[in-house]
Structure 1
Amino acid sequence: MPTAGYLLGLAMVFGTWNAFGDIPRWPAAAFAWGAGLLLWPTAGTLARRQGLMLAGGGMLGLIIAWAQGATLDWGRIFGANVPLLIMLAGVSFLRLAIPMDAGESARQNATGPRALRGTVLSTHLFGAVINLSAVFITGDHMQRNGRLTRRQATVITRSFSSASFWSPFFAAMATVLIYAPGSSPTRLMAIGLPLAVIALLVTLLDRDTHDDAGFVGYPIRLGTLWLPGLLALAVLSLHQWHPEWSVLAMIAVLGPAAAVIRLSGQPQRLVPVMHHHVGHKLPRMVNELWLFLSAGVLAGGLSSVLTVLGNDWLPFTSFGGVEAAITLALLILASVIGVHPAASIAVLGTVLMPVTDDPNLLGATFLAAWAIGINASPLSGLNLAVAGHYDLRSRNLLFWNAGYTVIMYLAACAVLGLYAVLQAM
């Protein structure tokens, strides 16, 4: 639906204007909600169900808070996750800037341990920038008769999901920057990168039932790896130069800018390609659109209720390494039973921020929960998409990744605990 796509485009324009200029957030929120309403009939059943539940819970909280005399900021409530949405829309343009399709001639040589390492690195690095598209690019290259082996499926899902530990281009980081306000993207990446390295090493060394000598993988092309690295460096450099600038807004600008620069060498294609992306690709965000819009309403309702109730009933009096481990376990379990990390983070972020002295510890906990949870859950968008596309059973992915989930939970607890101890010294 092109109209909805252009409404999302206007939300991007006004959302970045709000971040860098002096205009209210409500115009961007209005365009985002308008696109959501137009796209409602095309949303998946699960997305609509979750959207109604989250928004309904949020509205109930708002009614309770209003009845108790709370003052409600409707613009903030309905626009809470607009910065996250415009960032996701901006990231979608990176697929136009970073083509990673390999030639058929390379397919014949992409076997063995070297191919395994190339698949892990390619899926992780490209996935960190262009998101889920990287999984299907590598998966389609590796599949035989429309199917992946157990080893191939776990390799691409783990390599991709582990980018959530650190990537500034993931919805995970965007969500954390909203619900752990005051956290630093640089500090979060410094905590998350070691966990990503551990995750990739665990994936490479997981050889219980696999013979990697015959592994058919994706051939890495070192000549194309510079652009993802350059984009990540640009985000960090701009953040260091102007810390007051929103990282989410910077990415929302960098994505389309990178696409325009890439296409500038073919000026006859620039307008048609960008028009097709805005009018036909952006509307495919409908499920994410409704999830994040409704999660923002839920967080707004919960925050309003907490304002009325005060902090006496909060589960913790402080937030350190032990509390991080408990929170991480709860978030992973929530993911396994089908609760999207965005919803659970919106709730726990609202609840735990009042007792959190270091928002970076809370943010890193949320990133770890997202990275581990989307891989562990048979109901995550990642696993459902991979299972459906490659004729696998999503519940098998739960069992195949069970050991990995336990190892990464323990590794995350160790890293978060060490960070908490160092911060307390």
Structure 2
Amino acid sequence: MQETTTRQRLAGVLVLLGLLAQILGFTGAVPTAQAVSYLLWAAVALLWRDIPKRSRIQAGVLIALGVVMLVVAQTVYDAAVNWPAMLQGNVFVATMLVGVSFISLIGTQGNKRPPGKRVTGADGVLRTWLGVHFLGTILNLSTVFMVGDRLARRAPLTTPQLLALNRGLSSAALWSPFFASMAVVIALVPSVQYAQIAVVGFPIAMLSGLLTTLELRRRFDLTEVDGFSLSPRSLLMPAGMAALVMLFHFWITPSLTIVSIITFLLPGVALLSNLREGPRFTLRRIRQHTVTRLPAMRGEISLFLAAGLLTLGLSTLVAAAAGDEWTLFARFGTWQAMASFAAITLSALVGLHPIIGVSVLASILDLSGGEQTLFAFVALSAWAVGTSVGPLSGINLSLQGRYGVSGYRMMKDNLPYAAIMSLLSLGAIAGLSAWLG
């Protein structure tokens, strides 16, 4: 047991060092991308045995495929492969996720909040969706546990409550600049126009909340179903963080991407907020976070890094075999975008995380101008729908592990919702394509 604890603590320290090295790289003083990749991959290697079996198999397959394709590209097609840099794929995303995890050190989280008054019925379902959605834009998956654990105090979670938790979080992928989905998209297509994405994605997300409320009211008796009592005060921190990110993005550090700003800003705010209690208290909280929370991120870090290696291998092999000029579509327009959305969403139904479909697709497309923004919305909308319905998505695996619900059951209950959201997304894709010209 002591060996395992030591191993996990060492891995947590390596992840923290990777985050610090990434932040140092933002200054431009020294290139750190390769060092960051080695630190994170070393942490994954140490934590490999702790990763859930399904996720370990999936990540292992992605890693093997990526390496095999790089070997084939070099040996068969004589491609130039930069082996020392092969582990750098999606490092930006992984370190952003690590940075976001520090949000749990800001203020009082979870069970420290007062329980509030009881709300039930359709109003309670809507409040649960709203609470998870807007808090989740910043706090990500931790919001589901924060809200879900509070609801579970009175009784085991019911299907309507679980569906509200699922859909409230997954729909935030449509527009939140703090989500892993947005980080992946910006890393793949850096010229994306976020404002255009938000203008289209936010209304679709709000329709998700309305659809969830109406559908669950029709399917279930919600009379005694408890909802999450969300106070305006609860939104102050997420709104404040979003405002800070925009301040840095447009005025203080305009040369940095939103992903980069989030990576250093959230840990910085967490550090400052704890320093009010003294340096000893701050160091104790950071140490606890490093040795407990960071090793617990092994599943998501390994998946994103493995998908990055797969993307590099596939893009290298395709370029070597077909030439740099080959792309899946000569033009990425309305129909191509719709087909891409369908492919990524359907792959989620069979257990593939949307990041895999998004990364693979980006590696075989040559996108320019408005095509990057259109692709970004395709990726985000497919991510939102795919993670809600996919039995092996992070949100459904988390609900299964925490509250004992079957991933297959969640998929079955979400199929009608996913079908309607897909139609709305396809309509939005057509509208955005026409707007972008």
TM over 0.5: yes
Residues 1:266 and 2:305 are matched in the alignment? no
Structure 2 residue aligned with 1:178: 187
Once the two structures are TM-superposed, the CA of residue 97 in structure 1 deviates from its matched residue by 1.2
Closer, same or farther in 2 for the Cα pair 1:108/1:233, shift >3 Å?
closer
Structure 2 residue aligned with 1:245: 256
Match of 1:310 among 312, 315, 323: 323
- RMSD of aligned residue pairs (Cα, Å): 2.1
The aligned length equals 424
Once the two structures are TM-superposed, the CA of residue 146 in structure 1 deviates from its matched residue by 5.9
Once the two structures are TM-superposed, the CA of residue 74 in structure 1 deviates from its matched residue by 3.4
Q: Secondary structure at the match of 2:119?
A: coil
Structure 1 residue aligned with 2:206: 197
Q: Deviations over 1:102-149 (max 9, x none)?
A: 678745523244433321211111111111111111111112676211
Check the 8 A contact 1:100/1:224 in 2, yes or no: no
Structure 1 residue aligned with 2:69: 61
Residues 1:301 and 2:313 are matched in the alignment? yes
Closer, same or farther in 2 for the Cα pair 1:423/1:371, shift >3 Å?
same
Residues 1:140 and 2:149 are matched in the alignment? yes
Q: Deviations over 1:308-366 (max 9, x none)?
A: 11267643221112111111111111111001112221111111235785201101110
Q: Deviations over 1:8-56 (max 9, x none)?
A: 1111111122233142211111111111121112222122211221111
Structure 1 residue aligned with 2:239: 229
Structure 1 residue aligned with 2:288: 276
Match of 2:268 among 253, 257, 270: 257
* Gaps in structure 1 of 5+ consecutive residues: none
Match of 1:219 among 229, 249, 257: 229
Check the 8 A contact 1:93/1:255 in 2, yes or no: yes
Closer, same or farther in 2 for the Cα pair 1:245/1:218, shift >3 Å?
same
Once the two structures are TM-superposed, the CA of residue 192 in structure 1 deviates from its matched residue by 1.8
Structure 2 residue aligned with 1:322: 335
The residue correspondences of 1:22-171 to structure 2 (distance < 5 A) are: 22-24=29-31, 25-67=33-75, 68-97=77-106, 99-101=108-110, 106=115, 109-143=118-152, 147-171=156-180
Alpha-carbon distance in structure 2 between the residues aligned to 1:234 and 1:107: 29
What amino acid does structure 1 have at the position aligned with 2:225?
A: F
What amino acid does structure 1 have at the position aligned with 2:414?
A: N
Once the two structures are TM-superposed, the CA of residue 234 in structure 1 deviates from its matched residue by 1.9
Closer, same or farther in 2 for the Cα pair 1:112/1:28, shift >3 Å?
same
Alpha-carbon distance in structure 1 between the residues aligned to 2:371 and 2:228: 40
Structure 2 residue aligned with 1:391: 404
Alpha-carbon distance in structure 2 between the residues aligned to 1:72 and 1:179: 20
Alpha-carbon distance in structure 2 between the residues aligned to 1:357 and 1:263: 43
Structure 1 residue aligned with 2:4: none
Alpha-carbon distance in structure 2 between the residues aligned to 1:337 and 1:397: 14
What amino acid does structure 2 have at the position aligned with 1:166?
A: W
Check the 8 A contact 2:370/2:436 in 1, yes or no: no
Once the two structures are TM-superposed, the CA of residue 384 in structure 1 deviates from its matched residue by 2.2
Query: More deviation in 88-97 or 204-213?
Result: 204-213
Match of 2:22 among 4, 15, 28: 15
Alpha-carbon distance in structure 1 between the residues aligned to 2:358 and 2:173: 14
Check the 8 A contact 1:62/1:305 in 2, yes or no: yes
What amino acid does structure 1 have at the position aligned with 2:67?
A: M
Once the two structures are TM-superposed, the CA of residue 170 in structure 1 deviates from its matched residue by 1.3
Structure 2 residue aligned with 1:410: 423
Q: Secondary structure at the match of 1:201?
A: helix
Identity of counterpart residues, as a percentage? 30
Q: Secondary structure at the match of 1:126?
A: helix
Check the 8 A contact 2:125/2:160 in 1, yes or no: no
Q: Secondary structure at the match of 2:118?
A: coil
Query: More deviation in 301-310 or 186-195?
Result: 186-195
Alpha-carbon distance in structure 2 between the residues aligned to 1:373 and 1:266: 42
Closer, same or farther in 2 for the Cα pair 1:357/1:218, shift >3 Å?
closer
TM-score, normalised relative to structure 1:
0.94
* Gaps in structure 2 of 5+ consecutive residues: 1-7
What amino acid does structure 1 have at the position aligned with 2:15?
A: L
Alpha-carbon distance in structure 2 between the residues aligned to 1:2 and 1:247: 30
Q: Secondary structure at the match of 1:182?
A: coil
What amino acid does structure 1 have at the position aligned with 2:108?
A: P
What amino acid does structure 2 have at the position aligned with 1:271?
A: L
Query: More deviation in 354-363 or 212-221?
Result: 354-363
Once the two structures are TM-superposed, the CA of residue 239 in structure 1 deviates from its matched residue by 2.0
Q: Secondary structure at the match of 1:388?
A: helix
Alpha-carbon distance in structure 1 between the residues aligned to 2:46 and 2:213: 44
Closer, same or farther in 2 for the Cα pair 1:291/1:145, shift >3 Å?
same
TM-score, normalised relative to structure 2:
0.91
Q: Deviations over 1:228-283 (max 9, x none)?
A: 01211222232223442032221111121221232233224211111100122101
Check the 8 A contact 2:327/2:366 in 1, yes or no: no
Residues 1:288 and 2:300 are matched in the alignment? yes
Match of 1:372 among 374, 385, 407: 385
Closer, same or farther in 2 for the Cα pair 1:69/1:354, shift >3 Å?
farther
Check the 8 A contact 1:110/1:219 in 2, yes or no: yes
Query: More deviation in 376-385 or 150-159?
Result: 376-385
